[in-house]
Chain A
């Protein structure tokens, strides 16, 4: 009895120490790479998605592609003079903040929606895209109002770490959520009929529904407008300023429109340009 108590105490002590050390690690600000150094090193690490077409994905040749990637490559070209000098780090939705906090990437360009909560942990540059939430459901049992989801047995599928998850947890605590780690899994879950609908960013859903007959975006927009922006580690002002002036320059040549044309047209059609693109970092 006494011995087991001692074991428990020690385990607690060790875990406390671990937590304490980790907390310290997150708090201490390590030095950021300056713009000069980036140019000298000829390398920048940008975190992108690998499983979220058409924004960030890996094609069948193993190359990074997509809207975010297209813009990230341009950043690298303007900063380092060569777009091939960018090193893409493939990130997960839920650990995007952690990648910045632990300095594993310099910039996150992984469809990162700006929220107040995230602003406390990372610094967002000006946006390059805007969107709101949407809901996709099967044609056979369409969900046309959020109230329908409050009925018993109606599960709403969300991906962990996304703004949609936060929104429903906060605004509709009585809706039963079914959460998955990966984007791959939420769509598979809807197809398997494990939930009544998926809530996520509307862009994602419009694209998916378009290529998956039998499913429609039954609620195209709700929950206000959000913006998507590049993010850097908290306090990395030099890189943040550079990004903002870069977005400003790109706005003059309508580069984000070009990125849309190259990467999104195929999926959304031209009709959505005004709804999605933010040029020059300024939302009208």
Chain B
């Protein structure tokens, strides 16, 4: 049989290492998504309040994260801030920090959008019924807003998972980096390795992201009725 080059995936502990790298990817994205969501919901709620100053600061925060590329943030935090503050944080912690803050900014915007899209008369009717502000949020706004948030949030989550591939540039060894190491080692023995390794990484990313989008579809349908 012709030498396909797919063996490269099973050589030594390559498969374990790739899966281990995927775990790092999932870990960084998962922790960031959780922290980002908690902070983001908070920020979104704050942004619906009436304070102009608060609105402006949070808006600025969002724009700063949207305008400055994540890669630049990673570099600034990893190489810039740590020596300045005389602390030495690892690439992993830097990644989680940057991705959480980014997630918070985006989730905040999604939450704000969902809350503001609620028809005003609902709030007014609730008030007329004598509900307190807390009750209005708890029973009227948040349950509905949650549905409107879902597609955007899942979209953001998959985007974050994919963007974690940038963290190789601050020395975090995740799935893409391990793939490249395997390819480079194979340059001498198996020149077709890049096809198989990147192909495999493609499947891994798909396996992580696809269930998320399925989940969002299901809930969307379920909540529509």
Contacts and interface: CB of A to CB of B under 8 A. Distances in A.
A26 B83 CA distance: 7
A11 B60 contact: yes
Given A22-B76, A60-B11, A208-B187, A103 B83 contact: yes
Interface in A243-275: 267
B169 A53 contact: no
Q: Does more than half of chain B's interface fall in helix, strand or loop, or is it mixed?
A: helix
B80 A188 contact: no
Contact of B181 (A50, A181, A188, A211): A50
Contacts of B182: 60
A90 B12 contact: no
B173 A60 contact: no
A211 B185 CA distance: 12
Interface residues of A, number: 46
Contact of B180 (A10, A51, A98, A211): A51
Contacts of A102: 78-80, 82-83
Given A184-B180, A184-B194, A10 B60 contact: yes
B14 A60 contact: yes
Nearest to A185: B180
B70 to A, nearest CB: 15
A173 interface: no
A138 B60 CA distance: 52
A25 B64 contact: no
Contacts of B88: 103-104
A11 B185 contact: no
A106 to B, nearest CB: 12
A60 B12 contact: yes
A30 interface: yes
B180 A182 contact: yes
Contacts of A57: 181, 184-185
B155 to A, nearest CB: 26
A90 B173 contact: yes
A266 B183 CA distance: 19
A208 B187 CA distance: 7
Given A102-B79, A211-B187, A95 B169 contact: yes
A221 interface: no
Contact of B184 (A89, A183, A191): A183
Interface in A98-130: 98-99, 101-104
Contact of A181 (B68, B80, B83, B169): B169
A18 interface: yes
A276 interface: no
A60 to B, nearest CB: 3
A62 B13 contact: yes
Contacts of B168: 92
A98 B11 CA distance: 34
B81 interface: yes
B185 A89 contact: no
Given A60-B14, A92-B171, A53 B81 contact: no
Interface in B101-137: none
Q: Which 7 A-B pairs have the closest CB atoms?
A: A60-B12, A25-B84, A22-B80, A51-B184, A211-B188, A58-B181, A98-B79
Given A102-B79, A104-B79, 5 more contacts: A25-B81, A60-B13, A60-B14, A182-B180, A212-B191
22 contacts: A14-B60, A25-B81, A25-B83, A28-B83, A30-B86, A50-B173, A51-B180, A51-B181, A60-B14, A60-B182, A90-B177, A92-B169, A98-B75, A103-B83, A104-B82, A181-B169, A183-B184, A184-B183, A184-B184, A188-B194, A208-B187, A212-B187
Interface of A: 7, 10-11, 14-15, 18, 21-22, 24-26, 28, 30, 50-53, 57-62, 89-92, 95, 98-99, 101-104, 181-184, 187-188, 191, 207-208, 211-212, 267
Interface of B: 11-14, 17, 56, 59-60, 63-64, 67-68, 75-76, 78-84, 86, 88, 168-171, 173, 177, 180-185, 187-189, 191, 194
